[in-house]
Structure 1
Amino acid sequence: MCEFSFTESRRKVVDFSEYILLNEITFLSQSPGLRDRTWIVSQPFSRYLWYTIIGSLFLLSTIVYGIRRTIIKCQTQSYTTIMMYIYAISLQKSTNLIKKDKRSSLRIIYGVWMFTTLILSNSYGSSFYSILTIPEYDLPIDTAMDIYDISLNHRKTLIVRERSASWWQFVHSNPSNQIYYQIGKHLNQSKIRMKTFLKEFMPKLNVPNSPYVVIANRIVLEIHRIQFATRNLHIGNDNIGLDFMGYIMHRRSPLVLPFDMM
């Protein structure tokens, strides 16, 4: 078995076949639960949008306060000037111009704010209604990348039966295989050893909000989930890698048909 290139002349003599080895990984965890609804009132908008709304409200309030204070100040000065000076008529005209300009600015600011509030309130109402109607659940652990992320951030604990084929494959993997190596590193750091699946792991998986994820054979996981699980458990399955193996032999060889059927 080796790398082999095809030419037209070789096709007449040599038969080439290949089969694929799938490195599957199967894992069992608790079914995803309902997301926290403590602050459900704030969930329709993101955190940054809430910060923007609060900051805009504070800025507009400051601007409106400054404009209103200027109008009151102009009014006080105009009344005092009318009482004290002979040129009250001319001064009153200038004061009216100032008041008219300031009040136009206030109307524009109020109009923009009310229009923005109308859009935000409609968007908030529709999002909040959808959240109340359709409950949100945590994402399930379904792919190999989910297992890889768990091994990085340690939000859950991965467990593999000690001395099993999967355990050796992860713990003694080459650093060049990033996913295998990181999972093996996580297994060594957790220092949790499981020798018998049923007696040691199923009780841990049946507790509320179990932080454990077990990696084992799919048939074994299915049997234990059906017979011994007292809570809703979720099985995920994914392929970590593909290994291609090819072989060449004489076209009339009796081994061609058996190898092609593998």
Structure 2
Amino acid sequence: MNKQLLLTILSILLSSSSLFMMIIAVDCILSSTEFNRFYELAQSIIISEPKYRYRNVLILINSFQLSPTQIHLNIRELFELSQNLYLNCANCVPMIFLFHYDIHSLYNWLSEAILWLNQRFSCTIVSRFADSEKVLHLRPVIKGCLELNEIYWPKSQQDFDQLRISPLQCDLNQTIINIVINDFNPYSDILDRETDIKFGPSTEKNLIEILMMKINSRYRLIDGFQNWGKHENGVWTGSVSHLINGSADIAIGGFSITYDRSLVIDYSDITMVDEIAFISRIPELRSRSWLVIEPFSRLLWFIIFISFILVSLICYLIPKWEIHDNDDDVSVRYRSILSKQLLAIMVNQQAHVLMLTSWKQRLILIGWILCNMVLAISYSTEYYTLLALVQYDDPLLTKDDLIRVTQMNSHHFFTLDGSVVMDFKIIDSDGSKMISRNLEENERYNVMQLEEGFDRIANDSRFILIESKASFKFLIKTYAQKAMLISNDILATDYLAIAFRRRSPFFDSFNYIIRTCSHYGLTQYWLNKLILFSETANVDEYSISSIGTAAIKTTLTTDGLKIYDLGSIFITWSIGLSYSFIILLGEIVMKFIVKSKKQYQSTNNKKMKLTTIINI
């Protein structure tokens, strides 16, 4: 088969819409130029093109027509390039190599090569030599799901039967499987982190125990330290890192399916479709310490203050323009009582106006009186309403509520460290981008465990936690010491699954059981049962959380008017009384000073007159 025909077959097979594709490379493939050309083309199509990346690919290398000398000279280069292609291909099945070479020589060479070949590389070598055909398997899967990290040379029918066992008949004979876990209730719960890690009651514990029973295996837990997997500086950390380097076979703990992770690990079928919601404190009773200033907004109070200054200034200037110089005493006396008159009108008291007040001043005072009549009635009505009906903070139930507090910059959003919630910025909507921006600005508040988040909300109602709705329901009952309110709106959907290392021998066996449990609703049943029968941490607070916004009391009968609700009135009265007392003291002191000055001047005048008389 010539080179052009080979490349044509390769392009056609890879462009096929079939789920399984076969790539056939024959005799000429080991010539240096064409050898490299083939792998460049295969890598550009299989690896670079997303639509081909996840198709099943079989690469068959046929070199039967090459001599043993040619094979010996090129075999290392062949395996190095094949290994690179295989490891970068998501769904490539183990390659098949056809050699016209002695099986013992191939076995000896492969025994040395296994030391430098990547431990995730597996293949099958078929040897046709001296009228016999034999086969070698590098890291094959036997007994349905048991991967051997060695060279397997089947010689008997029983040996071949081991390779043909279906994954559904997997039997690991009590082999230990390493599972990396993160604490994420109610899906997974870690007990006794300081010594031997143990499973607490959780949905994934039930699933893992069924898996171990079906495949006759045991498991060992590895702590993921609340790091599901981050891609930082080109390196994966956390649970994903354990799967990539082979220190763990499975990763659990509410493992979210993301595109970046799917490039380096395999996911089972979806175990749970979770909802991303947010949780906050049940609306609290607003402080009534300064109820006296609440009837009017800050803007209205500011306008009243500015109006008072302007009216005082106008009334001060009018007599200065109209009263003649010989009426200075009257002008001073009049201007001295202007502020008192305006204040008297403002507090709805009688104001005595001098008869010599001009018509301009009277018009201003009449306008001031009318305005303050309306203000006084409005203030009294609103104040008595606030006294009679207690006021609560607005409940946060919808996405619009979340956007509103974001715009007001009154609350801080946070989530789990490394959570998929931080990917809200990829959602193309203004609201999601605003929420994402708030999350990024407050990333320093992110927590390792949801329980820490509940503690933060309990201590400070300005914080809002965004995460799994199922986890919120579970922790409100089993952990929360303060009443919490779960949102009605759903911000996003989170798909959870079990994560496997790439080409895991357990994948097919486990995934079949996982699919069966999900199909019959066992995972949802376990979740509901866990929430229902878990012990309640705080019965009173949980009952309030269960009722939700209906628990907010807004009647005088329920709450009553308490004496400290009138505290702001007494404080204002005390301030006014203190101010009046200070003014009184000031007037007494000033009167004493004026009197002393007059006495002093009178004494000096008498002395001067006496001196003048004596001199005369």
Q: 1:48 to 1:205 in 2, by over 3 A?
A: closer
Q: What residue number does 1:41 align with?
A: 292
Q: What residue number does 2:54 align with?
A: none
Q: What residue number does 1:233 align with?
A: 484
Q: 1:32 to 1:111 in 2, by over 3 A?
A: same
Q: Out of 181, 192, 202, which is 2:454 matched to? A: 202
Q: Counterparts of 1:115 and 1:184 in 2: how far apart (Å)?
A: 51
Residue 384 (structure 2) pairs with residue 133 (structure 1)? no
Q: Counterparts of 1:192 and 1:53 in 2: how far apart (Å)?
A: 41
Q: What residue number does 1:168 align with?
A: 420
Q: 1:73 to 1:232 in 2, by over 3 A?
A: same
Q: What residue number does 1:52 align with?
A: 303
User: How far 1:182 sits from its partner (Å)?
Assistant: 4.8
Counterpart residue identity of residue 214, structure 1: L
User: How far 1:73 sits from its partner (Å)?
Assistant: 1.8
Q: What residue number does 1:221 align with?
A: 472
Deviation sequence 1:186-211 (CA, Å, 0-9, x none): 5455045545434x33333333x244
Q: What residue number does 2:376 align with?
A: 121
Q: Counterparts of 1:197 and 1:36 in 2: how far apart (Å)?
A: 29
User: How far 1:126 sits from its partner (Å)?
Assistant: 0.7
Deviation sequence 1:211-242 (CA, Å, 0-9, x none): 43223343432232133221121111214489
Counterpart residue identity of residue 204, structure 1: R
Q: What residue number does 1:61 align with?
A: 312
Counterpart residue identity of residue 465, structure 2: V
Counterpart residue identity of residue 457, structure 2: L
Q: What residue number does 2:200 align with?
A: none
Q: 1:57 to 1:175 in 2, by over 3 A?
A: same
Q: What's the secondary structure of 1:158's corresponding residue? A: strand
The runs of 5 or more residues in structure 2 that have no matched partner are 1-272, 329-354, 494-616
Counterpart residue identity of residue 212, structure 1: F
Q: How does 1:1-262 map to 2 (within 5 A)?
A: 25-70=276-321, 72-73=323-324, 76=327, 103-148=358-403, 155-161=410-416, 167-168=419-420, 170-171=422-423, 174=426, 176-184=428-436, 186-189=438-441, 190-191=443-444, 194-198=447-451, 200-207=452-459, 209-240=460-491
Cα RMSD of the aligned pairs, angstroms, is 3.7
Q: 2:286, 2:391 within 8 Å by CA — same for their partners in 1?
A: yes
Counterpart residue identity of residue 305, structure 2: I
User: How far 1:148 sits from its partner (Å)?
Assistant: 4.1
Counterpart residue identity of residue 56, structure 1: S
Q: Counterparts of 2:316 and 2:461 in 1: how far apart (Å)?
A: 54
Q: 2:421, 2:466 within 8 Å by CA — same for their partners in 1?
A: no
User: How far 1:124 sits from its partner (Å)?
Assistant: 0.9
Q: 1:62 to 1:215 in 2, by over 3 A?
A: closer
Q: Counterparts of 2:396 and 2:409 in 1: how far apart (Å)?
A: 14
Q: Counterparts of 1:68 and 1:126 in 2: how far apart (Å)?
A: 37
The runs of 5 or more residues in structure 1 that have no matched partner are 1-21, 78-99, 243-262
Q: What residue number does 2:208 align with?
A: none
Counterpart residue identity of residue 197, structure 1: L
Q: What's the secondary structure of 2:488's corresponding residue? A: strand
Q: 1:58 to 1:30 in 2, by over 3 A?
A: same
Q: Counterparts of 1:152 and 1:62 in 2: how far apart (Å)?
A: 39
Q: What's the secondary structure of 1:238's corresponding residue? A: coil
Q: Counterparts of 1:227 and 1:76 in 2: how far apart (Å)?
A: 83
Q: 1:170, 1:184 within 8 Å by CA — same for their partners in 2?
A: yes
Q: Counterparts of 2:464 and 2:326 in 1: how far apart (Å)?
A: 73
Counterpart residue identity of residue 111, structure 1: I
Q: 1:204, 1:212 within 8 Å by CA — same for their partners in 2?
A: yes
Counterpart residue identity of residue 374, structure 2: I
Q: Say which is worse superposed, 131-140 or 100-109, in terms of deviation.
A: 100-109
Q: Counterparts of 1:181 and 1:109 in 2: how far apart (Å)?
A: 53
Q: What TM-score results when the alignment is normalised by the length of structure 1? A: 0.58
Q: 1:122 to 1:188 in 2, by over 3 A?
A: closer
Counterpart residue identity of residue 227, structure 1: T
Q: Counterparts of 1:71 and 1:187 in 2: how far apart (Å)?
A: 64
Counterpart residue identity of residue 128, structure 1: Y
Q: 1:171, 1:187 within 8 Å by CA — same for their partners in 2?
A: no
Q: 1:25, 1:144 within 8 Å by CA — same for their partners in 2?
A: no
User: How far 1:43 sits from its partner (Å)?
Assistant: 1.9
Q: What TM-score results when the alignment is normalised by the length of structure 2? A: 0.27
User: How far 1:45 sits from its partner (Å)?
Assistant: 1.7
Q: 1:160, 1:214 within 8 Å by CA — same for their partners in 2?
A: yes
User: How far 1:27 sits from its partner (Å)?
Assistant: 1.7
Q: Counterparts of 2:408 and 2:314 in 1: how far apart (Å)?
A: 46
Counterpart residue identity of residue 450, structure 2: F
Q: 1:135 to 1:196 in 2, by over 3 A?
A: same
Identity of aligned residues (%): 24
Q: Counterparts of 1:127 and 1:238 in 2: how far apart (Å)?
A: 34
Q: What residue number does 2:85 align with?
A: none
Q: 1:121 to 1:182 in 2, by over 3 A?
A: closer
